[in-house]
Structure 1
């Protein structure tokens, strides 16, 4: 199923995100829940929640009725966390 989801992402979702200088990574699927990460300009965008609901989730549910939900995983890299700590620790 992951390969089929990737095909839909490539053909129908990714082009839309790239218009806004963003992209998507499929992290996995478990029990009908698809986990994704938005990258590029879409990462951290205030409209990301709506992009996930209105563009990504609706398209994937249309193509794969067994999908229950699409969850946006907002991971912050360890490197970024360390950089933020250094900045905050300086007086």
Structure 2
């Protein structure tokens, strides 16, 4: 088995491609060692003591190193952990399935949406699914819809994109411009 690596726009993160599916549906982010307890793989990566974020995408794992960590020393450790996991066909999650984490619950919305905005919300989600998420996944992350109210779309960046120095520019110039162009009711995009 060979695991490819790719850089991301976030210098603290690398994207690891095992050449097989990681998540069959959705994505999952682990932003702390406590959250990583749900996944033996994420926990093993955090156990290095040099990892601060692990993100599972459809066909990749994005790993974010702690400030000051040298990737030339951490990368071989991460590759070894990933090889052990995938070669042994170990489960990705402990006692749960990937589907348990794939879709954010409605309670995850940060704003109460107006039922009259259902068509606008559908347009926003369609654009996020077809245009934005594939591009963000290419950079080792994901974007999660967190609500729409009064012309303001709330989005959360995950994975390599969550701590990326260019994430604000991506939200404000890229995604906001796209949404404003196709959905005239959108006035602003804010990070959740």
* TM-score greater than 0.5 by the shorter chain: yes
1:67 counterpart SS class: coil
Give the aligned length. 73
Deviation at 1:54, TM superposition (A): 2.1
1:2 counterpart SS class: helix
Question: Under a length normalisation based on structure 1, what TM-score does the superposition of the two structures give?
Answer: 0.76
- Point out 4+ residue stretches in structure 1 off by more than 4 angstroms: none
Pick aligned residue for 2:140 from 8, 12, 21: 21
- Rounded to whole Å, the distance in 1 between the matches of 2:189 and 2:180 is 9
Q: Name which one, 1 or 2, has greater alpha-carbon Rg.
A: 2
- Rounded to whole Å, the distance in 2 between the matches of 1:44 and 1:22 is 10
Pick aligned residue for 2:183 from 64, 67, 70: 64
Structure with the bigger percentage of helix: 1
* CA distances 1:43-70 after superposition (whole Å, capped 9, x unpaired): 1211111010222101100101111100
1:34 counterpart = 2:34: no
Residue ranges of structure 1 left out of the alignment (5+ in a row): 74-91
- Rounded to whole Å, the distance in 2 between the matches of 1:69 and 1:53 is 8
- Rounded to whole Å, the distance in 2 between the matches of 1:56 and 1:18 is 14
Question: Under a length normalisation based on structure 2, what TM-score does the superposition of the two structures give?
Answer: 0.37
Mapping of 1:41-80 within 5 angstroms?
41-73=160-192
- Rounded to whole Å, the distance in 1 between the matches of 2:186 and 2:123 is 12
Residue ranges of structure 2 left out of the alignment (5+ in a row): 1-119
